[in-house]
Each structure stands twice: as C-alpha cells, then as structure tokens.
Amino acid sequence: MKNYYILKDLCRKIYLAGAGDFWFEEGEISKGKSLRYQLLCILLFSIYISMTVLEIIGVFFGDMPDDERSDCTTFAVSHTIVLGKMFSVIYNRKRVKELNRKLVEICKDHEDEHRLAENYKIIKINVTAYAVSVYGSFVFFLYEGIRKMMTGSHFITIVTYWPYYEDNSAIAITFRFFTTGVLVVMMATMICIDSFAMVTLIMYKYKFITLRYYLEGLREQFDINNYAGNEEYATDQLHSGLIEGIKMHSNLIRLSKDIDRCVGAVLALQVCLSSGSAVSLLLQLALSKNITVGAQLKIILFVGALYFLLALFLCNAGEITYQASLLSDSIFYCGWHASSMRRDIRRLVLFSCAAAQRPIVMKAFNMLELTYGTFIQVVRGTYSVFALIYAQNESTTE
C-alpha cells in the first residue's frame, strides 16, 4: 500500500498548492466541497492569468531595455505553457482520480516491499532534484533583481507591461515585489503538477517490473510444486497464475491510454517549453553584451531546469517501453513446456507473448513518442535552431 500513501500525499500537496482535489476517495483530502477553497483557487488562478496577460502585452507593446524585453518574452512563453499544463490536468480531474485509483490497485497484491522502497526512493530523488533546480534558477533571478536595485535601477524579476520601466513610484515597486511572490507560489503549483506526471510515469514503470517478477516467480513456484504425484496441482497453479498475469498485463496496457489522457498534454507542452524557451534564452546569453555573471547564471540554470524536467519525463517514459519489452521472455520461460497440460497452457503463453512483443511506447496526444531518442532529438533540434539564428545575426551584424 506504499503507492497509496505516496499518491495521497502528493494529491494533498497539489490541493494545498491550489490546484484542487485529485484523490479518488471523496472527503479524504478536501473534507467535502468548500466554497472558501474554491474562491481561493479562482482568485489564485485569476492572478496567474492576469500576470501572464501583462507579460504578453509587455512583449508587444512594452517600452523597456533589451534585457528586460528578453526576460518578458521568456516568461510570457513559459507561463503561458505552464498554465496550459495546469489547466489540462484540472480539466481532466475525474480521469485523474480514476487514474490514481488504478495506479494503487493494479498489481498491489504482488508488490514487493523492497521494490516499493526503491520506487519511493527514486520518486523522492526525482521530485526533490526538480524542485531544487527550479528554485535554484529563481534564486538568481531574485539576485539579479536585488543587484539592479542596489545599482540605482529598480527591483525586477517578472517583467510586465505595467509598471512601466520609468515608473519607480511606491505602487510600482510594491507591484514588482507582489509579482515576485506570485511567481514563487506559481512555481509551487507548477512543481506539484509536473511531479504528479513524473510520479505517474515512475509508478507505471514499476508496475511492469512487478509483473515481470511475478511471472518469473511462477516458474520458481512451478519447479517447487512439480514433483512425482503432484504434477496436476503444479500445472493448475501455473495455469491460474498465468491467467492472473495476463489480466494484469491487459490492465497495464489499458492504463497507458488513461495516462495519455490525463498527463499527455503536460508531457507534450513540456517538450514545447524546453525547446522554445531554451532557444530564446540561449540567444539572450549569446547576443547580450556586457551581461553580468548573475544574469548568465540565471539563464544557464533556467535552461538546465527546463531540460532536466524534460529528461525526467522522457527517460522515465522510455524506461516504461524497456520494462514492458522484457515481459515476453518472462512469460515464455514460465515453465509451460514441463506441465502436464502443455497444449492448453501453450495457447495462453502464445497469446501473452504476442501481446508482450508489442511493447508500450508512451505518446503525447498519440503523436509524439516519449523515448530516450526523442530527448536527444529535442536537444539537437534546439541547438540547430539556436545555431542558425545566431549565425544569421552574426552575418547581419558584419
């Protein structure tokens, strides 16, 4: 039941971050529908949307220096996509609740405590590393804002259309600090949503590992039971165990569609965010003159956080494909060839092997394959676009 507590704790954090109740047991987290909580959620997301709209307006109509315009463009694109990820999960709340229930129930009778502990350790490392990378980049945005304020300019982290660049009134300064606080809260909500998608992929991967060990255990148990005078019992046990394994495999295959419907948009939009924002940030780093060390670090860490999350998503999704591909051998070597009902069990084995030889490939929107190769392609494609734009700019300057 460790998966139960992991998911429940994560859903509680999502609830506290203002994204709503995603737990499948009604009243366990939200304690019933609260009008006050719903109003707070509406207010919170209204502030997120308003800030993003001001960033978008600032990109097209703002009068500001080049460095602030670059930051405004980066945040406008990033926050628009982040809001898209959040709303895609919130819109599918009922499906997410059902997905959580299935992640808890499928294979739960055959989960090993040691593997569950390993699963939890990997989840904890992944989520913690992602949160540290996000807030680590934010620290340098904050540092740059303070540095500008100390050198006679104004404090700035989030660049919006208003307040204007020349406006240093008390209201403008207060608003700039307010948007910084909004960014901190927004990142917490974003981390919770991204972590849910990440945890879902990791748990799904371990479901296949659990099923593989279960199938390998059928052979071990069959060898123990298969002695003179006990052949029929050993065969019956193998037969019933294989049927249960087929059911679990079938449920896991169907679960991939549920995952795509619930978090597929999060994964696809992250690909867009990592590639699009990275090009903008790298160009800002390469083309800006007299850029400070703090500004360089904030760009590098921001790009690193974007690609780190993308790597976590795509590598865990690729690991699902790999673990699913191992099931075919586990089924074939379950011991059917030594059973007294070889012909009947062989049909089950052939059916199961045929299904397992079509390993699951996670996709976003049923189009974009989420694999190790996709991550390499995104990195190469981003660098190619950056190199092309940079070369054209250099030739124009000359």
Structural domain boundaries of the chain?
2-397
- Mean pLDDT across 45-50: 97
State how far the Cα of 281 lies from the Cα of 307, in Å rounded to an integer: 12
Q: How far is CA 35 from CA 13, 15, 42, 90, 289, in A?
A: 19, 14, 11, 17, 52
- Mean pLDDT across 292-297: 87
pLDDT at 140: 93
Of residues 345 and 292, which shows the higher confidence score? Answer: 292
Calculate what percentage of the chain has a pLDDT beyond 70.
Answer: 97
In degrees to the nearest 10, what's the CA dihedral of 45, 198, 55, 378?
-160
pLDDT at 340: 64
**Where are any strands of DSSP class E within the chain?**
363-364, 368-369
Of residues 33 and 84, which shows the higher confidence score? Answer: 84
249-283 pLDDT per residue, tens? 999 999 999 999 999 999 999 998 988 888 878 87
User: What are the tokens at 174?
Assistant: 């207060």
**Winning range, highest mean pLDDT, from 239-243, 267-271, 367-371:** 267-271
- pLDDT band at 25, cuts 50/70/90? very high
Report whether pLDDT(345) > 80.
Answer: no
Give bridge partners of residue 364 from the DSSP assignment.
Answer: 368
pTM here is 0.94
Phi, psi of 288 (to 5 degrees): -75, 135
Average pLDDT, the chain: 90
User: What are the tokens at 235?
Assistant: 């065969």
175-233 pLDDT per residue, tens? 999 999 999 999 999 999 999 999 999 999 999 999 999 999 998 998 888 887 888 88
314-335 pLDDT per residue, tens? 999 999 999 999 999 998 888 7
Report whether pLDDT(1) > 70.
Answer: no
CA 183, 185, 188, 189 torsion-angle sign = negative
Report whether pLDDT(383) > 90.
Answer: no
Residue type, 373: G
- Mean pLDDT across 31-49: 91
Calculate what percentage of the chain has a pLDDT beyond 90.
Answer: 62
Contact 370, 317 (CB under 8 A): yes
For 127-151, give the secondary structure using H, E and C.
HHHHHHHHHHHHHHHHHHHHHHHHC
Q: How many other C-beta atoms are found inside a 10 Å radius of the C-beta of residue 177?
A: 14
Report whether pLDDT(397) > 70.
Answer: no
